[in-house]
Amino acid sequence: MVEGLSTIQIAAALIGGYLLGSIPFGVIVMKAAGAGDPRAIGSGNIGATNVLRSGRKDLAAVTLLGDGGKGAAAVLVAWLATRGAGDAAQAALTCLAGGAAFFGHLFPIWLGFKGGKGVATFFGTLLAAAWPVGLIAGATWVLMALVFRISSLAALTAAVVAPIAALLLHRPAVAVLAAVMGVLIYIRHLPNIRRLLKGEEPRIGGSKKVPKGDGGGKA
């Protein structure tokens, strides 16, 4: 156990972060707007990219902010709860809470543990845990997206860059968090990776006709 943290604090961070991360913003905003269910269109994913396939850019933007915001919120609540606990304890608890929120997005209890791919939550979590790392990861995504016009490739590249950036910035706890999230992002993007290797991955702004359940880009 990390010095300065109690079992109750750790349990609260893990459970609270997971439940927060489990909030399916894509499903909520689409149903609230009477736009249907994202799980019934496109890739069947609950993330912003698939919500965009409904033709509602506003709902996709709200989903993106919600999915990123829940990761950031989990980190910030843990940070506030450990302001007097020391740097090591604070870093550990914020990373645990952020990681739990990310896991909750991937495997939400409210949706039978069938969630999104976690890219928006990945960025939100990193921006709150160590904003320079989050900015570097975000800039990597933007650069790759501008050059190659492939959302999944941009996300996969950012997932590799983030833990390296955290190590170079001497944030070991964040590096571990980013690495764990990165591995899960790669696992969730296996269909995309297969299409990338075949040269069949859709480009940003291109065809959105992805078979349901086969996975899209960012979520």
pLDDT digit string (tens) for 116-143?
Answer: 999 999 999 999 999 999 999 999 999 9
The residue to which tokens 């969730």 are assigned = 188
- Determine phi and psi for 192, rounding to 5 degrees: -65, -40
Q: pLDDT tens, 42-78? A: 888 999 989 998 999 999 999 999 999 999 999 999 9
- pLDDT band with cut points at 50, 70 and 90 for residue 213: very low
At 148-200, the pLDDT tens digits run 999 999 999 999 999 999 999 999 999 999 999 999 999 999 999 999 999 99
pLDDT at 84: 85
CA pseudo-torsion sign 66, 146, 217, 208: positive
- Judge whether 169 and 130 are in contact, CB under 8 Å: yes
**Residue 211 confidence (pLDDT):** 45
pLDDT of the residue at 43: 82
Q: Judge whether residue 218 has pLDDT over 80.
A: no
The 10s digit of each residue's pLDDT in 79-99 is 999 998 899 999 999 999 999
Using an 8 Å Cβ cutoff, are 75 and 128 in contact? yes
Token readout for 77 is 């609540």
- Specify the pTM: 0.92
Q: Which of 214, 189, 217, 203 is nearest to 44 (CA)?
A: 214
Supply the pLDDT for residue 212. Answer: 47
pLDDT for the residue numbered 182: 98
Total residue count of the chain as it appears in this document: 219
pLDDT for 107 beyond 60: yes
Q: What's the pLDDT score for residue 200?
A: 93
Residue 210 pLDDT greater than 50, yes or no: no
Q: Is it the case that residue 217 has pLDDT exceeding 60?
A: no
Residue 70 to residue 99: CA distance in whole angstroms: 11
Task: Please determine, for residue 202, whether its predicted confidence score (pLDDT) is greater than 50.
Answer: yes
